[in-house]
Amino acid sequence: MQKKSITLTDNRNGNTYTYPVLEATRGPDVVDFRTLFKDTGLFAYDPGYTSTASCSSAITFIDGAKGELRYRGIPIETLAKEHSYLETCFLLLNERLPNADELQNFDLELRHRAFLHEGLRSLFAAFPDNAHPMATLSAAVTALASFYQEHLDMNNKAEYHEMAHRIIAKMPTIAAFAYRHSLGIPCIQPDIDLSFTENFLTMIRAYPGGKMHLGPHGHETIREVEVRALDTIFTLHADHEQNASTTVVRNVASTGAHPYVAIASGIAALWGRAHGGANESVIAQLEMIGSVENVDAFIKRAKDPDDDFRLMGFGHRVYKNFDPRAQVLKTLQDELKEELGLNSRLMEIAAKIEEIALNDDYFVSRHLYPNIDFYTGIILTALKIPKNMFTPIFVIGRTVGWITQWIEFKKDPESKIARPRQRYIGD
Please report whether residue 354 would count as binding ligand SDX according to CB under 6 A: no
Question: Cα separations (Å) of 11 from 33, 185, 302, 356?
Answer: 18, 68, 42, 47
CB within 8 Å of 116: residues ≥ 6 apart: 170, 173, 174, 177
Contacting ligand SDX (CB under 6 A), which of 172, 190, 266, 315? 315
Task: Choose between 256 and 305: whose C-beta lies nearer to ligand SDX.
Answer: 305
CA–CA distance, 266 with 333 (Å, rounded to integer) = 28
165, 89 contact by CB (below 8 A): no
User: Which residue out of 231, 239, 323, 373 is catalytically annotated?
Assistant: 373
Subset of residues 218 to 237 that bind ligand SDX, contact rule: CB under 6 A: none
* Nearest of 213, 234, 238 to residue 223 by alpha carbon: 213
Question: Cα separations (Å) of 128 from 101, 178, 393?
Answer: 44, 11, 21
| 316 part of the active site | yes
Of the candidate spans 2-10, 18-26, 367-375, 378-386, the one that interacts with ligand SDX by CB under 6 A turns out to be: 367-375
Closest distance to ligand SDX from the beta carbon of 310 (Å): 4
Question: Cα separations (Å) of 273 from 141, 318, 329, 424?
Answer: 21, 17, 20, 29
User: Which residue out of 132, 258, 316, 323 is catalytically annotated?
Assistant: 316
DSSP string covering 55-80: ---SSEEEETTTTEEEETTEEHHHHH
136, 178 contact by CB (below 8 A): yes
Of the candidate spans 104-112, 131-139, 310-318, 338-346, the one that interacts with ligand SDX by CB under 6 A turns out to be: 310-318
Closest distance to ligand SDX from the beta carbon of 57 (Å): 13
| 373 part of the active site | yes
Closest distance to ligand SDX from the beta carbon of 276 (Å): 6
Task: Choose between 160 and 409: whose C-beta lies nearer to ligand SDX.
Answer: 409
Residues β-bridged to residue 139 = none
Task: Choose between 259 and 276: whose C-beta lies nearer to ligand SDX.
Answer: 276
Subset of residues 47 to 76 that bind ligand SDX, contact rule: CB under 6 A: 48
Of the candidate spans 81-89, 133-141, 270-278, 333-341, the one that interacts with ligand SDX by CB under 6 A turns out to be: 270-278
Of the candidate spans 130-138, 153-161, 311-319, 384-392, the one that interacts with ligand SDX by CB under 6 A turns out to be: 311-319
Contacting ligand SDX (CB under 6 A), which of 87, 231, 354, 373? 373
CA–CA distance, 109 with 105 (Å, rounded to integer) = 6
- The mark string for 397-416 relative to ligand SDX (x by CB under 6 A, - otherwise) is --------------------
- If DSSP states are collapsed to H, E and C, what string results for 182-229? HHCCCCCCCCCCCCHHHHHHHHHHCCCCCCCCEECCEECCCCHHHHHH
* Chain contacts with ligand SDX (rule: CB under 6 A): 48, 240, 243, 274-276, 278, 302, 310-318, 366, 368, 371-373
